[in-house]
Structure 1
Amino acid sequence: MSDDPTAHDRVFATRDASVARRPRRTARGTFRLTVGAFVALVAALLPLLRVIAPGFWLAAALGLAALVLTIGYLLRVRGVPAWAVSLIELVVWMLGVTGLFFAGQAWLLVIPSPAVFAAVPEVLSRAAQDIITGYAPLDATAAIAFLLVSSVALLAIALDHIVVTARMPLLAVVALLTVALIPTVSVQRSMPTWELVTLGATFLLLFRFETRTRREPERPGAVRTAAGFVLGAAALVTTLIVAPLLPTLNPVVLVPGSVSVGVDASIDLGRNLRNPASTEILTVTTDTGSAPYLRLATLSLLQGSGTWVPDAPSTTAIGSDGTFPAQALGSTITTTEAQTQIDISRLDTTWLPVPYPAASISGLTGSWAIADQNLTVESQGGSTRGQQYTVTTTSPQPTLEQIETAPARSTNSIYTVLPQNLPTIITSDAQQVTAGATSAYDKLIALQTWFRGDEFTYSLNAPVEQGFDGSSADAVARFLQVKSGYCVHYASAFTLMARSLGIPTRIVIGYLPGTYSSSTPDTVTYKVVSDQLHAWPEAYFQGIGWVRFEPTKSLGVSTSFAPGSGTSGTVDNSGSTPQPTASSAPTAAPSDQPSTAPTTGTTTSTTSTSGPAIAAIVPWALGAVLVIAVLAVPGVLGAARARRLRAAAARGDAVAAWSWVQDAARDVGVPVSAAASPREFGAALIAQPGVPPDAVWRLVDAVERAAYAPPPAPTGRRARRAASGDPATADAAAAVRSGVLGSVAPARRLIARVWPRSLWARE
């Protein structure tokens, strides 16, 4: 080192001045990071507005989040310790949530009382139930609003600590991206491009704000800033271009050892049906010889331009006897009784699949309730997975004469409501197809026969390619034009056309009868797979109940009744599903797949799945390669930076050698403070096990000479560093770096190489 004391005085004076200026830079940097965290939080909440209607909860959540972030900023610039800042923010969060939702039970409106703490579990349970039983977009009830506001404000506190205190924006981005993707996964809708671009832009802005708060040499900082932006831009472009090419999963819940399949409440069944994977979800054992349709939910209400939404009727808890409400039948209508045992293995929903009309149920575990209006069964906080239960059905058996004379009228007007601006093709086709029919039943049979005739074809792909995937009135109009679609189109078209004729109808979501598995002298067992998810219409007849019809071409069991001797299918009085009559030998039940030719029986052909299965492997393999490549980017960038610094150190650049060692320290979690002198940091390195002291002090001496020795000539920074350095410095830096990396466990060392923290962390 130089022996000139004035040189040392100048160095320490410069350093003291730098320290004196640091609080103002820290305040400015803290403000930027606080603003960046809030903007990123807002961007992450945008996708949530597609599943939960905006309202009071949004203003309250953003207001409380802004409040805690502002308080955190003010406390930090006044030198309050980080742990105290987070603690005060939590207190503010608790007072704010209490004042917003429990003011009547709190002390002084904002201080939680024992009554408040006692009410929170009940409110959370109610919120969970509202979310489980609701459909998108949810109206935010008071319970849901409490959950959202509390969660968003807590997330703001976590972001404040991660981004502002820990200076780890990448971890914050991972958390925010998870929040943004939850709505997309839960309702199986793709994220609009503008939302994705906004989210990516705010993340890049957050990285930019973080890099501008760093206090290290300009060149490494610029390199890291550029690397961060390149990485972020590459991820954004990759998502926009490649993500649409990847396959879409069914809604699933991963459980150790198996996969549980879910059901979309908004009858967006196209995604489920187009998935090439077929998973067995349950078995049905019946004493009638033929499998029944299994119902999950009914849809009677039209929203907006004619999109069907699940019914949400009042429910009654299932009692110990498991009986269902009795249904009124005409005095001359006969009934038949059947028992069906259902074992669920991989279906995870809140709706219980049951045959109808159910008279009683036994064997359920957990809390369940019956919807009085349609006799569907819903969970009150549990799931269908693993349930084993037995359902007793009592099905009405009207004759042809009885159903032809039964009035098709209902006291509830929701079953005849039509959307405004109904496309004329729906009403004109209904009038034309039923022109020769006299009774409501004859009109429905005419519609069923027309849909199952030669004019229509079953297709899972044509609707998507031609832009009318879905169940809205416009989608139905397009379906009637091209006459090709799947069960949702057939059921929606049948229901709207029947309503245009004044006949009360609704749509049912459930499963087709399964395929034959085994039998005993008294029972037959069928298995039901995930791609047998189905939609069908029902019509209401007074004195008989709800009668299932099957318009979907080539699938299911069509409805018909015999004169004076009952039916060829049973009838559901409370949501009835005509079922195939019992036979002495089991028959194969249909699956919701298109056949090569129209069929009128109960069996459909199956196609080989080897082709789709192989085709499905390719995009997933490409996706896996892409994910691995993206995950490898930080490691590649870190390795490239290390090679560049090592090469510079070999040329005698002591500053590069010092940065090379500092990067290794950051990667393994050794604190690196910009305020520490080289000797202070050198002492910290020596404290690590396995770090050679001699090499550390040689490196410290080289750095001090490069920083404090007078320059030999004004020939540029690179030449100055080379002149003041020693190529042996690279050997000392390599020894120190090797010791630092060797001081941690192998797993931690691997993480340091794959995800080098030095790319984004400075302190």
Structure 2
Amino acid sequence: MLAVLVDALVAELRLPWLAGLPLLLLAIVPARAVAVGDDLGGVTATAAAFLLLVWVDRRRDITRPPASTAAALGATAVIGALVLQALVPTLVNPAPASAGTLRPVFAPGADPLVRLGEQLRRGADVTVLTYKTTASTPVYLRVVTIDNLSGDEWAPTTSEGDPSSRQVLTFPSPEGLGEDVEREEVSTVINDAYQQRSWLPVPYPATSIDGLVGDWAWEPDALTVQAVGPVRPVDEYTVSSLQTDPTVEQLQAAPPAGGAAFDRYLSLPTGMPSIIADTAATVTADAGTGYDKAVALQDYLRGRDFTYDEETPQRADGDGDSMDVIAAFLDAKRGYCVHFASAMTVMARTLGIPARIAVGYQPGERRINQPGVFEVTSHDLHAWPELYFEGAGWVRFEPTPGRGDVPRYRQDAQASGTDPSSAPTPTPSAAARSDRSEEDAAAAAGGSAGGPPLGGAALGAGVLVLLGAPALARALRRRRRLAALRVPRAGPAWDEVHDTALDLGILQSGADTPRALAARLEEVLSPSPEEHAQLQKLLAVVERERFARPGTTGDAADERAVHGLLHRMRAGRSRGARLRATLLPKSLVTWALSLRRPETPATAS
């Protein structure tokens, strides 16, 4: 398409300076599509090379603008190219050193929260894994957990010691999970698109993993899984895990967690901005138990005052990994999952509830053509808080509006005096308030969370421009031809009459002589005597201009008669025929395939 467009601009329309604009796309879009970064030097060099070609081509004709105009158009092209480069969305994640692999989100030594923020704003949406599970509901896949919030950069805690005693064929019991909490053993088969990982996506709490290559070890407490030594190749593996189902009463009855083992989940840095603790205290003022306070925090963050926004500017260094960022988020009330999860985790700690951040993937979507199979993409990267309640263990919450699934814990049937087989009645402190907050958040977001980014709109506009390129090229061609009537010359105007007849379906081929075309127009248009006379006079002028001896003079073509004939041709055709003639002009296709009809020197422009 670019080759045809450039050829039309240069050879047919004699506008070589405009041909540089589509050529600049070749310097911008491919690199941008694979996110290799903005290339100001490359774009500038391309524009400079193009201007050099225009300067070297010293041929002059009536259509060539002065050098200053060409320079101005070239500068406009460079500026437009840089703007387009910033708007075009990334289509493919850039590959690491080994070609053909997806970019690792959780690389060794990298801050997962920072990497997650980069991925959320990258705009690409590629499949990272698929899974099939026996669980009654789709599963979250945790990759790492963050519990050390004392520094400026938050990273997962890794264990020291011999990893051979922590092999993934058998996991320990999850921390704090009591025997009276109902549970179900489930199996999840995961097919990973990454060629290698250092951390493994697994449901929580896992009990065993089968099918992995190399040495992998679980981390105590969090039960996350990390490669031992170098990163390992990952393909298909099976995770056995528990799907727990604590009741609201069990969570409300949980005693405060005590002991030195929980100090790290309650630790907060000194000098933390006061807005964090003050907001937590205000939001939970009417809540009684620790679980009620947790639900109040979740409802507050999912409420109508907060907006999910992946383009939120940061006021501190990092992406949600600083208390200053959390304070700025609570003040602006705009952010994405990293901010919501971090804010709820830190506010829960100020209330004496052990909390940590989980980073991984939300459940994804079912594949229509593969029953039971879920597809997880890079847009499913997510962060959420986990809070500890004695007897139930680590419990997932979802404070991010418009993302993820809000957990709803069942009401104890015996405690509420209802039939166990009947549907439970949600309590205001749990499901009902979560339902209302989710609806309020969706209304407040106004659908923006799932809407197309600016880059997607730019891509759509680019597609529309490409689709409209034939109509634009045809319009420019028509304008140049009709302008020749003022020279005066009738040949280009007659070529326009011929191509208009071809576009509208009046002619079926492009090989008609002027006299044959005039006869066809007489047949189709049934002109009035005055129109017949004008057509015959125009035909005589064209034939004399094309076939008389050089230097022979005659009458000029009537400009009003030419425009009237073109109007009469369009008015006599259906609306569909006119639309096809505008968007899909047959004359351009015929010209491109035949490499332009030969013209006599008298009509060549």
Shift of 1:359: 1.0
Q: Give the 3 Å change call, closer, same or farther, for CA 401–470 of structure 1 in structure 2.
A: closer
Shift of 1:373: 2.2
**Any idea what SS the aligned residue of 1:308 has?**
coil
Q: Give the 3 Å change call, closer, same or farther, for CA 599–563 of structure 1 in structure 2.
A: farther
Determine if contact 1:316/1:372 at 8 Å carries over to the other structure: no
CA–CA distance in structure 1, aligned partners of residues 167 and 159 of structure 2: 22
**Any idea what SS the aligned residue of 1:539 has?**
strand
Residue 403 of structure 1: aligned partner = 251
Q: Give the 3 Å change call, closer, same or farther, for CA 614–254 of structure 1 in structure 2.
A: farther
Give deviations 1:238-264, integer Å, cap 9, x for gaps. xxx99x979999674254444343336
Residue 185 of structure 2: aligned partner = 337
Residue 147 of structure 2: aligned partner = 300
Alignment partner of 1:426 is 2:269: no
Determine if contact 1:458/1:485 at 8 Å carries over to the other structure: yes
Q: Give the 3 Å change call, closer, same or farther, for CA 484–550 of structure 1 in structure 2.
A: same
Give deviations 1:625-648, integer Å, cap 9, x for gaps. xxxxxxxxxxxxxxxxxxxxxxxx
Shift of 1:366: 1.1
| Percentage of identical aligned residues | 39
Higher helix share goes to which structure? 1
**Any idea what SS the aligned residue of 2:382 has?**
strand
Determine if contact 2:189/2:238 at 8 Å carries over to the other structure: yes
Determine if contact 1:468/1:478 at 8 Å carries over to the other structure: no
CA–CA distance in structure 2, aligned partners of residues 484 and 525 of structure 1: 34
Shift of 1:598: 5.6
Alignment partner of 1:514 is 2:364: yes
Q: Which runs of 5+ in 2 are unaligned?
A: 1-34, 38-81, 415-440, 463-605
CA–CA distance in structure 2, aligned partners of residues 398 and 604 of structure 1: 34
**TM-score of the superposed pair, with normalisation by structure 1:** 0.42
Aligned pairs for 1:151-300 (under 5 A) are 252-263=95-106, 265-266=110-111, 267-268=113-114, 269-300=116-147
CA–CA distance in structure 1, aligned partners of residues 199 and 256 of structure 2: 28
Shift of 1:346: 2.6
Alignment partner of 1:374 is 2:217: no
Determine if contact 1:276/1:613 at 8 Å carries over to the other structure: no
Residue 309 of structure 1: aligned partner = 155
Aligned length in residues: 347
Amino acid at match of 1:287: T
Of the candidates 310, 313, 318, which is equivalent to residue 460 of structure 1?
A: 310
Determine if contact 2:93/2:103 at 8 Å carries over to the other structure: no
Shift of 1:386: 3.4
Of the candidates 149, 172, 178, which is equivalent to residue 325 of structure 1?
A: 172
Aligned pairs for 1:89-168 (under 5 A) are none
Determine if contact 1:499/1:505 at 8 Å carries over to the other structure: yes
Aligned pairs for 1:456-605 (under 5 A) are 456-464=306-314, 469-518=319-368, 524-564=372-412, 597=443
Of the candidates 433, 436, 442, which is equivalent to residue 292 of structure 2?
A: 442
**TM-score of the superposed pair, with normalisation by structure 2:** 0.52
Shift of 1:471: 2.5
Residue 353 of structure 1: aligned partner = 201
Shift of 1:531: 2.3
Give deviations 1:544-589, integer Å, cap 9, x for gaps. 21001111111111123221159xxxxxxxxxxxxxxxxxxxxxxx
CA–CA distance in structure 2, aligned partners of residues 273 and 541 of structure 1: 31
Q: Give the 3 Å change call, closer, same or farther, for CA 463–254 of structure 1 in structure 2.
A: same
Shift of 1:284: 1.2
Amino acid at match of 1:279: V
Amino acid at match of 1:336: E
Amino acid at match of 1:514: G
Give deviations 1:77-134, integer Å, cap 9, x for gaps. xxxxxxxxxxxxxxxxxxxxxxxxxxxxxxxxxxxxxxxxxxxxxxxxxxxxxxxxxx
Amino acid at match of 2:451: T
Q: Give the 3 Å change call, closer, same or farther, for CA 376–319 of structure 1 in structure 2.
A: closer
Q: Give the 3 Å change call, closer, same or farther, for CA 278–417 of structure 1 in structure 2.
A: same
Amino acid at match of 1:544: A
**Any idea what SS the aligned residue of 1:534 has?**
strand
Determine if contact 1:507/1:535 at 8 Å carries over to the other structure: yes
Amino acid at match of 1:564: D
Give deviations 1:376-404, integer Å, cap 9, x for gaps. 10011343543211111123322111111
Q: Give the 3 Å change call, closer, same or farther, for CA 259–399 of structure 1 in structure 2.
A: closer
Which 10-residue stretch deviates more, 467-476 or 313-322? 313-322
Residue 640 of structure 1: aligned partner = none
CA–CA distance in structure 2, aligned partners of residues 423 and 380 of structure 1: 39
Q: Give the 3 Å change call, closer, same or farther, for CA 472–347 of structure 1 in structure 2.
A: farther
Shift of 1:507: 0.6
Q: Give the 3 Å change call, closer, same or farther, for CA 609–481 of structure 1 in structure 2.
A: closer
Aligned pairs for 1:694-713 (under 5 A) are none
Amino acid at match of 2:154: W
**Any idea what SS the aligned residue of 1:278 has?**
coil
Determine if contact 1:344/1:384 at 8 Å carries over to the other structure: no
CA–CA distance in structure 2, aligned partners of residues 463 and 556 of structure 1: 23
Give deviations 1:217-244, integer Å, cap 9, x for gaps. xxxxxxxxxxxxxxxxxxxxxxxx99x9
**Any idea what SS the aligned residue of 2:180 has?**
coil
Q: Give the 3 Å change call, closer, same or farther, for CA 596–557 of structure 1 in structure 2.
A: closer
Q: Which runs of 5+ in 1 are unaligned?
A: 1-187, 191-240, 567-594, 619-763
Determine if contact 1:285/1:341 at 8 Å carries over to the other structure: yes
Q: Give the 3 Å change call, closer, same or farther, for CA 535–402 of structure 1 in structure 2.
A: same
Determine if contact 1:553/1:598 at 8 Å carries over to the other structure: no
Give deviations 1:320-339, integer Å, cap 9, x for gaps. 88111123632322211111
Amino acid at match of 2:377: V
CA–CA distance in structure 1, aligned partners of residues 242 and 392 of structure 2: 12
Residue 612 of structure 1: aligned partner = 456
Q: Give the 3 Å change call, closer, same or farther, for CA 468–350 of structure 1 in structure 2.
A: closer
Shift of 1:270: 1.9
Q: Give the 3 Å change call, closer, same or farther, for CA 615–439 of structure 1 in structure 2.
A: same
Residue 577 of structure 2: aligned partner = none
Amino acid at match of 2:173: A
Shift of 1:465: 8.1
Q: Give the 3 Å change call, closer, same or farther, for CA 459–467 of structure 1 in structure 2.
A: farther
Determine if contact 1:364/1:388 at 8 Å carries over to the other structure: yes
Determine if contact 2:214/2:232 at 8 Å carries over to the other structure: no
Determine if contact 2:320/2:339 at 8 Å carries over to the other structure: yes
Shift of 1:608: 4.2
**Any idea what SS the aligned residue of 2:155 has?**
strand
Q: Give the 3 Å change call, closer, same or farther, for CA 312–438 of structure 1 in structure 2.
A: same
Determine if contact 1:345/1:385 at 8 Å carries over to the other structure: no
Q: Give the 3 Å change call, closer, same or farther, for CA 435–487 of structure 1 in structure 2.
A: same
CA–CA distance in structure 2, aligned partners of residues 608 and 309 of structure 1: 31
Q: Give the 3 Å change call, closer, same or farther, for CA 387–449 of structure 1 in structure 2.
A: same
CA–CA distance in structure 2, aligned partners of residues 466 and 616 of structure 1: 34
Amino acid at match of 1:313: S
Q: Give the 3 Å change call, closer, same or farther, for CA 596–321 of structure 1 in structure 2.
A: closer
**Any idea what SS the aligned residue of 1:359 has?**
strand
**Any idea what SS the aligned residue of 1:309 has?**
coil
